[in-house]
A and B are shown apart, each in its own frame.
Chain A
Amino acid sequence: EAQVTQNPRYLITVTGKKLTVTCSQNMNHEYMSWYRQDPGLGLRQIYYSMNVEVTDKGDVPEGYKVSRKEKRNFPLILESPSPNQTSLYFCASSPSGPWYNEQFFGPGTRLTVL
């Protein structure tokens, strides 16, 4: 089944404790992206990747890192999480960029930083 998977689905952590949220897609998509969703703010892009080893900042990249060493994986790294990073995170992928292709979203990761 074609899909985007994220792990973990739920995470409660404490300020300053490094964490990684994994994202994997099995559709051989070139483009992958991370979004955060907050009440009243909609979906805001954190980082995106056009292909392996190619990443770029989205609208709200501060406090996050990403890497794209393999085409299928695009982990989101929070080196020193803070409470304002409490949010619902979505990974998405599309064949060659969201510009003329639909994005396929993962199920989401709900992160709470205490």
Chain B
Amino acid sequence: GQQVMQIPQYQHVQEGEDFTTYCNSSTTLSNIQWYKQRPGGHPVFLIQLVKSGEVKKQKRLTFQFGEAKKNSSLHITATQTTDVGTYFCAGLENSGAGSYQLTFGKGTKLSVIP
């Protein structure tokens, strides 16, 4: 079955430093979604990437989808304490016959030291 590996599992950064989390799939993905979960909260949708090589930006966040559609990254420039939380990717695989499987990565927990 599909596996979505996300690294690192934890990241501690000084406020103002950059942060990147990576997702790698064992299979080619139809799309990938990114979610953020604040401590004690629920996952909140950030973005969806569909096209090979796609790059999208949301203020200090940059999302990339690999050319082969098997990997993705989320990069945060100049982290702030409001960026604290766990970031999840969720990869969608077309498993054939009109069936799709959505698999979440295990997440990267970001801590920001003020």
Complex contacts, B106 vs chain A, CB 8 Å: 40-42
Given the known A-B contacts A90-B42, A99-B31, A99-B92, are A42 and B104 also in contact in the complex, defined by CB atoms under 8 Å?
yes
CB of B43, distance to nearest CB on chain A (Å): 5
Cβ–Cβ contact A99 & B43, under 8 A: no
CB of B112, distance to nearest CB on chain A (Å): 21
The 6 closest A-B pairs by CB, nearest first: A102-B45, A42-B106, A105-B42, A43-B104, A105-B43, A99-B100
Cβ–Cβ contact B104 & A44, under 8 A: yes
Complex contacts, A95 vs chain B, CB 8 Å: none
The reply on A103 being an interface residue by CB < 8 A is yes
Question: Which residues 62-114 of A sit at the B interface, judged by CB distance below 8 A?
Answer: 90, 92, 97-100, 102-108
Measured between alpha carbons, how far is A102 from B49 in the docked complex, in Å? 11
Taking beta carbons and an 8 Å cutoff, which residues of B are in contact with A?
6, 9, 30-31, 33, 41-45, 48, 50, 88, 90, 92, 100, 102-107
Given A98-B33, A100-B50, 9 new contacts (CB under 8 A)? A41-B106, A42-B104, A42-B106, A90-B43, A92-B43, A99-B92, A100-B48, A103-B33, A104-B45
20 contacts between A and B (CB under 8 A): A35-B104, A40-B106, A42-B6, A42-B88, A42-B106, A43-B43, A43-B104, A43-B107, A59-B103, A99-B30, A99-B31, A99-B102, A100-B31, A100-B48, A100-B50, A102-B45, A103-B33, A103-B45, A105-B42, A106-B42
Measured between alpha carbons, how far is A44 from B4 in the docked complex, in Å? 12
Complex contacts, A102 vs chain B, CB 8 Å: 33, 45, 48
Number of residues on chain A facing chain B (CB within 8 A) = 21
Q: Nearest A residue to B47 by beta-carbon distance? A: A102
Measured between alpha carbons, how far is A100 from B41 in the docked complex, in Å? 24
The reply on A45 being an interface residue by CB < 8 A is yes
